[in-house]
Amino acid sequence: MIDGLFASANYEGVKKMLDATVLRHKAISSNIANVETPHYQRVDVNSSFDMELKRAIASNQTGNVNSIQPRIEVDQQAVAQNRDGNSVQLEKELVSMQKNMVAHQLQTQMITGKLSKLRKAISGQA
């Protein structure tokens, strides 16, 4: 059926990346909200997500791509800079928010590109 039009590992991969981007924004907002909470540990999208997605896209199986789920977890790499045990650095969070926003723009444009190519193919326009 129509699912066949969209069943490519790349397209499904971009959708997963978009999920992860939205989730990362959530993680960043939680970090910034808790920038002054004692003993708060910064969170991020699970670090294994990127590798898993890369492997799944390389395998070219949409099933593999669909089975990956990004999730939020505590960032074990981050160490507290202050004595209050909080591992958030505001500047880093703001920079990663900006990066995340650009990534979101890129991903939405990639999806739009795929859809408009399909539309052109269907309508037969040059």
Binding residues for other proteins, rule: CB under 8 A, are: 21-23, 25-30, 32-38, 40, 43, 71-73, 90, 93-94, 97-98, 100-101, 104-105, 108, 111-112, 115-116, 119
**Residue nearer to other proteins on the CB measure, 5 or 58:** 5
Rounded to whole angstroms, how far apart are CA atoms 81 and 88?
Answer: 8
**Residue nearer to other proteins on the CB measure, 56 or 70:** 70
**Residue nearer to other proteins on the CB measure, 61 or 120:** 120
Rounded to whole angstroms, how far apart are CA atoms 64 and 53?
Answer: 9
CB of 78 to other proteins, least distance (A): 15
CB of 32 to other proteins, least distance (A): 5
CA 44 from centroid of its chain's CA atoms: 10
CB of 64 to other proteins, least distance (A): 21
**Residue nearer to other proteins on the CB measure, 59 or 99:** 99
CB of 59 to other proteins, least distance (A): 25
